[in-house]
Structure 1
Amino acid sequence: MGAVTGDQTVDQTVVVAVDGGGSKTDAVAVRLDGSVVSRARAGGSSPQIEGLTRSVEVVDALVREVAGVAPLAGVDLFLSGLDFPAEEEAYRQAIADLPWAPGALLDNDLFAVLRAGTSAEAAVAVICGTGINAVGLGHGGTRVRFPAVGAISGDWGGGGGLGSEALWHAARHVDGRGPATALTEGICRVLDVPSVPELIADLHFGRRSQGDLRLLAPEVFRASDAGDAVAGALVDRQADEVAALVTACVRRLDLAGEPFPVVLGGSVLQAGHRRLEDRIAARVHDVAPHAELHHLRVPPVVGAVLRALERAGADGGALARAEAELVGTAHAALVGGVAR
């Protein structure tokens, strides 16, 4: 399985790691020595959003693209929307006949986020991007998971939640049921609509996708920074939701009295909103004073690659090389991300 270059034989065997979310999917092929062979990106692959068939199509195309003709040591898939055992089983059945599927690892994308941020045995990760979800790892491999299927499982927030709530407040501003808010004008500007009532009609009659509302999340933070009380309350609510997920993990894993990393990922949590970050930190430290909060500064696919290499038996040097090639030599000393 080697190719000869001069007097040195290079093992061409690769592992493929895939990180798939609601809006994009990244795939990387890496040799067992940590050298990156190929990487590619496609649209979203969450089976809850795209549907099972489309998700498999996206993932299969990416795996084949980055692997090429190289022999495979393993394929590790970390996908948003795998929140129930039944969803994982359905996905395994859907990929069963694909040539790369035997022995493939299938897990929720939160575990890629977690590994991108830390190699600690006990840790918590929250992702707040299109939606919101969290995972926790305790000593001895104990896991904490959440269904993360929207309001019916107690979830709120992310770009979709913030955007929907912004429109709710704007609608009430326009018809007199609620207070005035700068979000009303901001929504019209961001989504290029003449008025909030016309946007509501477009959504109701299917002329516009509900998914467009996630584009309003940055406007919520802009209005909050400008002093809008309604927008500020939404930012505070988002912070409290993130802290609630961390708190639940802390209590279920009995981590309150010890130091452990909390990895915060996703576009909402990585955008550098001071009010959001300060409130999250305060709420988390109320229940876990030694928790160490880290905003993820590397792509989650880095965690997927590190997990895949570890599963394939690669050594620490290979992990460091893979990370250096994926995110730059500045990160090479931090194997696994920003927190150890």
Structure 2
Amino acid sequence: MKRYAVGLDGGGTKTAVTIVDENGLEVHTFTSGAINYNGQDEASVQASLAEIFRKIDRVCDGLHHCAQVCIGAAGISNPTVTTRLESSVRASGYEGPLFITGDQDTALCGAHNRELGIILIAGTGSICYGKNEAGDTHRAGGYGYLIDDEGSGYSIGRDLLSVVVRAHDGRLPATVITGMVFEQLGMTSIQQIIGFVYDKQTNKKDIAALAPILSQACELGDEAALAIADKSARSLLELVVPVAEKLSMQEGVLAMAGSALLKNSFIQTAFINGLKERYPAMTCITPKRDAASGAALMALNRLQ
């Protein structure tokens, strides 16, 4: 009987699914609705999982051919999240082996194509996570935009907005960032900017969406922009140090992930230079595969 392993990467707005056969060959990939209890209600998570398992049922020619499922999800340090996810999966008709883990685990496994290494993620938020040969793990960051997430897309967006208001007051010299922010938001006054920032409808992703402006401003040599890029790189390096030290992985391999790090060459270059200075023997890579593929590999590794 043919057996399959399935990996789910439960992102903030969607779920990526990868199905592999027992030899690890990719059979099918697709995306569906979010299964993140931090941002979705119970009914929509259940509806998304029901749809996902209907599709798995079709691809695997019956859920009984699905021999292992691994779900990487946010917020699983909260034990109720794991319990709720499991009951929703069972309600979808899947009765086989199920492994639920943190989304940083599946991202790390995808990035390295194995369950060992360090991953630094700088997307809307920021976190560094590692696992060594002994199976020890450590994380730094990832505590949310109100008190953490330095070096992330959100913190860059916030810093750009901060530069705009300070330059307006004369606390900073004039900067190209002002015109770029106004243009992207379709606004013409500081009052409109303040309205946007404190509007209850504005969320962290709206602020993070401003982050690409930083690259353009850095390319023009804008001093305020270059200062933000430097600060972001230093903040990201700060996340790596405790993970490398705690796990004795100063000579390990670090995967860089997330658009704030991968799509801004100024931040990336400053970060890599700082890392080389601190850990000359550490190697930097970009992810080999995505988190859904990492989840599928983790499922495959657990096939009975």
TM-score range, shorter chain: 0.7 to 0.9
Partner residue in 1 for 2:286: 295
Contact (CA 8 Å) 1:112, 1:307: kept in 2 or not? yes
* Mapping of residues 319-338 of structure 1, within 5 Å: none
User: Which deviations, in whole Å up to 9, do the C-alpha atoms of 1:8-52 show, x marking residues without a partner?
Assistant: xxx2x3222111222432112222133433321135443323356
Length-normalised TM-score, structure 1: 0.78
Correspondent of 1:308 among 279, 299, 302: 299
Partner residue in 2 for 1:48: 38
Give RMSD over aligned pairs: 2.6
Residue 176 of structure 1, CA deviation:
3.3
Letter in 2 for 1:285: K
Structure 1: stretches of 5+ with no match in the other structure: 3-10, 314-340
Contact (CA 8 Å) 1:270, 1:297: kept in 2 or not? no
Length-normalised TM-score, structure 2: 0.86
Contact (CA 8 Å) 1:110, 1:126: kept in 2 or not? no
C-alpha distance in 2 between matches for 1:134 and 1:60: 32
Contact (CA 8 Å) 1:203, 1:210: kept in 2 or not? no
* Mapping of residues 182-221 of structure 1, within 5 Å: 182-206=176-200, 208-221=202-215
Correspondent of 1:79 among 62, 73, 80: 73
Greater CA deviation, 283-292 or 58-67? 58-67
Partner residue in 1 for 2:11: 21
Give % identity. Answer: 22
Matched, 1:129 2:119: no
Pair 60,251 (structure 1): closer, same or farther in 2 beyond 3 Å: farther
Give the SS at the match of 2:39. Answer: helix
Greater CA deviation, 171-180 or 227-236? 171-180
C-alpha distance in 1 between matches for 2:54 and 2:157: 36
C-alpha distance in 2 between matches for 1:147 and 1:87: 20
C-alpha distance in 2 between matches for 1:52 and 1:289: 47
Give the SS at the match of 1:174. Answer: helix
User: Which deviations, in whole Å up to 9, do the C-alpha atoms of 1:205-236 show, x marking residues without a partner?
Assistant: 43544431111111112111211111111111
Pair 55,70 (structure 1): closer, same or farther in 2 beyond 3 Å: closer
Letter in 1 for 2:68: G
* Mapping of residues 82-97 of structure 1, within 5 Å: 82-85=76-79, 87-89=81-83, 91-92=85-86, 95=89, 97=91
Letter in 1 for 2:200: G
Pair 170,280 (structure 1): closer, same or farther in 2 beyond 3 Å: same
Residue 87 of structure 1, CA deviation:
4.4
Correspondent of 2:23 among 33, 40, 43: 33
* Mapping of residues 78-117 of structure 1, within 5 Å: 78-85=72-79, 87-89=81-83, 91-92=85-86, 95=89, 97-100=91-94, 103-117=97-111
Give the SS at the match of 1:269. Answer: helix
Partner residue in 2 for 1:269: 261
Residue 266 of structure 1, CA deviation:
1.5
User: Larger relative CO (CA 8 A, sep 6+): 1 or 2?
Assistant: 2
Residue 108 of structure 1, CA deviation:
1.5
User: Which deviations, in whole Å up to 9, do the C-alpha atoms of 1:138-160 show, x marking residues without a partner?
Assistant: 23100112462225654323222
Give the SS at the match of 2:134. Answer: helix
Residue 184 of structure 1, CA deviation:
1.5
Contact (CA 8 Å) 2:140, 2:242: kept in 1 or not? no
Letter in 2 for 1:47: Y
C-alpha distance in 1 between matches for 2:159 and 2:141: 21
Structure 2: stretches of 5+ with no match in the other structure: none
C-alpha distance in 2 between matches for 1:60 and 1:241: 40
Pair 88,37 (structure 1): closer, same or farther in 2 beyond 3 Å: same
Correspondent of 2:274 among 283, 293, 302: 283
C-alpha distance in 1 between matches for 2:86 and 2:287: 29
Contact (CA 8 Å) 2:70, 2:100: kept in 1 or not? yes
C-alpha distance in 1 between matches for 2:47 and 2:171: 46
Letter in 1 for 2:283: E
Letter in 2 for 1:17: G
Pair 129,210 (structure 1): closer, same or farther in 2 beyond 3 Å: closer
Pair 210,275 (structure 1): closer, same or farther in 2 beyond 3 Å: closer
Greater CA deviation, 235-244 or 171-180? 171-180
C-alpha distance in 1 between matches for 2:182 and 2:132: 45
Partner residue in 2 for 1:326: none
Aligned length: 300
